[in-house]
Chains A and B, each alone.
Chain A
Amino acid sequence: MSFSIPSSAAPEAAKAPSPVAEALRGAVRSPKVVIGAVIVSVMVLCALFAPQIAPNDPENQDLINMLMPPMWYADGTAQYPFGTDSLGRCILSQIIYGARVALLVGFGAAMGAMLFGTTLALLAGYFGGWVDRIISNLVDLWMSLPPVVLSLTLMVGFGTGVGNVILSIVLVDWTRFCRVVRSEVIVVARKDFVSAARLLGFGDIRIILREILPSVAPLIITLFTLQVGIGIIVEAILSFVGLSVPANVPAWGKMIAGARNYMYQAPWGIIMPILAMFVTVLGFNLLGEGLRVSLDPRLRRRTF
């Protein structure tokens, strides 16, 4: 027996904070969470207020100033801070507008994958038996298909458009949620407090929603954040091959595709959108990783 610090020290605290408040306080103290949250908020603000922030109309073609370098080069101008592409469109403005598609697809796909995957995971993990066998085998089967090929096939089948991009990502990535959440649900469902709830007359649905879901929520939040980053990359891949948004909507993948013919004369055209994507995904990953550690009481280091 060692000093039982958390259990015996805590009761002396005057006003007890809830575990949620405690986790949030831990999260704010984690540098990963803070840096990630700042990057994500900047990107969200860019997407929401693109018309106000962007210096130019992203689709406006300035054919005199084609392939202009960024403003910090000798022949760059302050009018186009990141330069222009082969049609003379402002790269910065396209990146800012491109954040709209990226985040819409990222959040939408993550939300869908989360709802679909988590629902099946809760059913499989809680009921076990044949329900679990059917769902788990489906997941195994699904995961044996190569994800990029599967989403490309789905896109060809559905046709282009943002809604279909989201749908195809959901159909590919729900398995990730399902598998990870299921194993956590199994752990929680074996806890005695679930049996206790049954003895108190709780029905299955109520037990799942009131007892199990709150316990796996931190994991779901973390997976969601990581999934947003994945969604952004997949969207870029699909718009790179022209299967995503229509021609008049700016998207990062399309910018990369358009700039690759001129990448030796005008490398900024390809570097800038890649950088934007890199920073955004990094932001989500940092946020997700930080949340994972600070929301999981097992990983949170007890300092006393």
Chain B
Amino acid sequence: MSVLAFDQVTVTARMGGRKVDVLRDISFALEQGEIIGLVGESGAGKSMIGRVISGLLPDNFSVTGGKVEFDGDNLMALGKSQRRALLGRKIAFIPQEPLSALNPVRTIGSQFGEHLRHIGIESSRRRGLMIERLKQVQLRDAEEALLRYPHELSGGQCQRVLIAMAFAGEPALVVADEPTTALDVMTQAHIVRLIAEQQGLHHTALLFITHDLRLAGHVCKSVGVMYAGDMVEFGPAAAVLKAPSHPYTKSLLAAMPALTGPRHVLPALSDHMPGLASFAGLAGCRFSPRCPVKDPSCANTRLPVRQVGTGHWVRCAEACGRADIAAASAMVSGDPAGDRASVDFENVRLSYHAARGFLGLQRSRFDAVKSATFKVREGEILGIVGESGSGKTSVGRLIVGLERPSAGTIRVNGSDQTYNVIHLTRRDTQLIFQDPQSALNPRRSVMKLLTQALEVGESYKPEQQRRPVAEALLRDTGLPPDCLDRFPSQLSGGQRQRVNIGRALGAKPNLVVADEIVSGLDVSVQAHILNCLLDLNRRRRLTMVFISHDLAVVRYLCSRILMMHAGEIVEEGATESVFANPQHPYTKALLDAVPPESADRPWPPMQ
């Protein structure tokens, strides 16, 4: 008997008067001691499955078809209190945001203790059990940690606590919803290993929800790929990764830049995943409008499930399954960089001073950047890699002049810019901000955002003459022509990031600093943006500094990289040689922390 069995489950949302199926005919079975991965981009409905299990569907959503069985009981037939009794005891969750899942005003011990009381552990045993479990998840000083508040621990440490809590009641099922998305790459590897260890130790059934197909391939026995509320492919992880059968799975894998092997131009899917509002118009395969295999019949008829291997099925037409997606073209190779230095940092330090103690009389110094010396050559794309807190964002802000260095000199295009105020002088260096939500003024239309640079200074143009400029920027960034009059809230995440890029280009910079601009995006959208940046670099000889924590993305884009760790540059060199032969232990550790393309290579690495 399966621990968890979904049988043709359909979830319907009422939107106004209409009914929309947000999940359609979801079927899978999870056995004891097994890990199943649910993979998909944002909006695929994978978290909705977690909500069906917990019974916490949004107000106007309800399960309208099929049944969910947990340990042989029909979950839908159980009363509210019976279901609540299951949560925590029999079904546990590991959340996406560890910090917001813990109550900030209560200690770890008090929250963990309450959880143990809830699952029926008598008070005399609680403390011992907590310490034992926290030691199991390798939290240093477990006794000490019980007295700490969540903000005193790092995100990874909080996630360890939550993992310990989830497995504390020996549940039959654990649902981990993107447990590592909010964490650094290095932490991700640790956390994934811990979850797998705990799962093996307690022989729990684990449902692992993630957007990272490669990660799922390494963690899970079987993988289900979700798209717009459908499960389009399901099968053994190795089979899905090696021989994907659905065009969406193929495109998803093809759109992920690789860490090894020759570099290919990433094939990117057009458009983005449809939203709830457009589900009604997609009666058949919801992927059909974006499908590289154009078969009009799929759009209107619901296709049956087709077996392609042992336990491996796909919901797609026979012909489509055979079609080859990506005729990958090799990258234009060669180093585009010239000899002149666009940016030149010499022993640059950036310190922050914090007032401490009584009346702030004592001051403490924190060096965000300890001492940075490097050059960005004209026309190249330089990658700066590091974890959060490594100082890479500070370097970016120093380059464009949003921060002034505490020591050292910065030369931009040959002239000393160390102490210049950014107004007036530095329009030729632009920064593309990480989060377009914050970087785009919600009250400006796309037209006004793109032409913002024309409102002041030398490049001033009267309003009537701005439209052609905006239209040219739309073309450069690959945005549809009809979005000029829209506002940021009416764009998708990928489109917003394009507007963000377009606004920086509108100032006609010769150097652009891109700060983690693809980290919040889905893989297929990310491929689009990366190709757009490559194109700008090649065609316009635009110099770029690309800041990222994602090694595969950096390898795809950059000819040279800097590795930063704790405010210092620990390694510098041509991308290929750094990847092939990393020198600094930190670089090695970082490279090992990334799940490899091939499912055959064991990952996560043992400690």
Judge whether B498 is part of the interface by a CB distance below 8 angstroms.
Answer: no
Closest to A210 in B: B455
Judge whether B151 is part of the interface by a CB distance below 8 angstroms.
Answer: no
Closest to A8 in B: B275
Bound state CA distance, A6 and B491, in angstroms? 9
B208 to chain A, nearest CB (A): 14
Judge whether A16 is part of the interface by a CB distance below 8 angstroms.
Answer: yes
Q: Say whether B457 contacts A8, CB under 8 Å.
A: no
Judge whether A196 is part of the interface by a CB distance below 8 angstroms.
Answer: yes
Stretch binding the partner chain, chosen from A44-52, A53-61, A198-206: A198-206
Chain B residues within an 8 Å CB radius of A199: 400-402, 422, 426-427, 429-431, 504, 507
| Other-chain contact of B422, A15, A198, A206, A210 (Cβ < 8 Å) | A198
Judge whether A214 is part of the interface by a CB distance below 8 angstroms.
Answer: yes
B76 to chain A, nearest CB (A): 21
Judge whether B435 is part of the interface by a CB distance below 8 angstroms.
Answer: yes
Q: Say whether B487 contacts A16, CB under 8 Å.
A: yes
Bound state CA distance, A34 and B422, in angstroms? 47
Q: Say whether B443 contacts A1, CB under 8 Å.
A: no
Judge whether B111 is part of the interface by a CB distance below 8 angstroms.
Answer: no
Judge whether B15 is part of the interface by a CB distance below 8 angstroms.
Answer: yes
Residue from A196, A197, A206 whose CB has the most chain B CB atoms within 10 Å: A196
Bound state CA distance, A210 and B449, in angstroms? 12
Chain B contact residue count (CB 8 A cutoff):
61
Which residues of A (248-294) have their CB < 8 Å from a CB of B? none
Q: Say whether A8 contacts B439, CB under 8 Å.
A: no
Q: Say whether A195 contacts B48, CB under 8 Å.
A: no
Chain A residues within an 8 Å CB radius of B96: 1
Bound state CA distance, A197 and B504, in angstroms? 10
| Other-chain contact of A19, B277, B430, B487, B495 (Cβ < 8 Å) | B487
Judge whether B21 is part of the interface by a CB distance below 8 angstroms.
Answer: no
| Other-chain contact of A196, B45, B433, B456 (Cβ < 8 Å) | B433
A22 to chain B, nearest CB (A): 9
Chain A residues within an 8 Å CB radius of B133: none
Q: Say whether B427 contacts A201, CB under 8 Å.
A: yes
Residue from A2, A210, A215 whose CB has the most chain B CB atoms within 10 Å: A2
Q: Say whether B277 contacts A304, CB under 8 Å.
A: yes
Which residues of A (192-228) have their CB < 8 Å from a CB of B? 192-193, 195-203, 206, 210-211, 214-215
Chain B residues within an 8 Å CB radius of A13: 490
Main secondary structure of the interface of A (DSSP, over half): helix
Bound state CA distance, A190 and B431, in angstroms? 16
Bound state CA distance, A17 and B503, in angstroms? 21
Bound state CA distance, A210 and B451, in angstroms? 14
Q: Say whether B492 contacts A8, CB under 8 Å.
A: yes
Judge whether A18 is part of the interface by a CB distance below 8 angstroms.
Answer: yes
Bound state CA distance, A4 and B402, in angstroms? 32
Chain A residues within an 8 Å CB radius of B423: 198, 201-203
Closest to A15 in B: B485
| Other-chain contact of B276, A5, A191, A193, A201 (Cβ < 8 Å) | A5
Chain A residues within an 8 Å CB radius of B495: 11
Judge whether B440 is part of the interface by a CB distance below 8 angstroms.
Answer: yes
Bound state CA distance, A20 and B438, in angstroms? 19
Judge whether B22 is part of the interface by a CB distance below 8 angstroms.
Answer: yes
Given contacts A1-B47, A202-B456, contact A214 B430 (CB under 8 A): no
| Other-chain contact of A200, B178, B427, B440 (Cβ < 8 Å) | B427
Chain B residues within an 8 Å CB radius of A192: 433-435, 438-439
Q: Say whether A200 contacts B452, CB under 8 Å.
A: yes
Chain B residues within an 8 Å CB radius of A203: 423, 456
Binding site for A on B (CB under 8 A): 13, 15, 22, 41-48, 96, 178, 211, 272-278, 400-402, 422-424, 426-427, 429-431, 433-435, 438-443, 445, 452-453, 455-457, 483, 485-487, 489-493, 495, 503-504, 506-507
Q: Pick 28 A–B contacts, CB within 8 A, sort by A.
A: A1-B43, A1-B211, A3-B22, A3-B45, A3-B276, A4-B42, A5-B276, A6-B489, A8-B272, A8-B275, A9-B278, A11-B491, A12-B277, A15-B485, A16-B485, A18-B445, A191-B439, A191-B441, A192-B433, A195-B433, A196-B439, A199-B504, A201-B453, A206-B455, A210-B455, A297-B442, A304-B15, A304-B277
Sample of 16 more A-B contacts, CB < 8 Å, known A5-B276, A197-B441, A199-B430: A1-B43, A3-B276, A4-B43, A7-B275, A7-B493, A9-B278, A11-B495, A19-B487, A193-B440, A199-B402, A200-B456, A201-B457, A206-B455, A214-B443, A215-B443, A304-B15
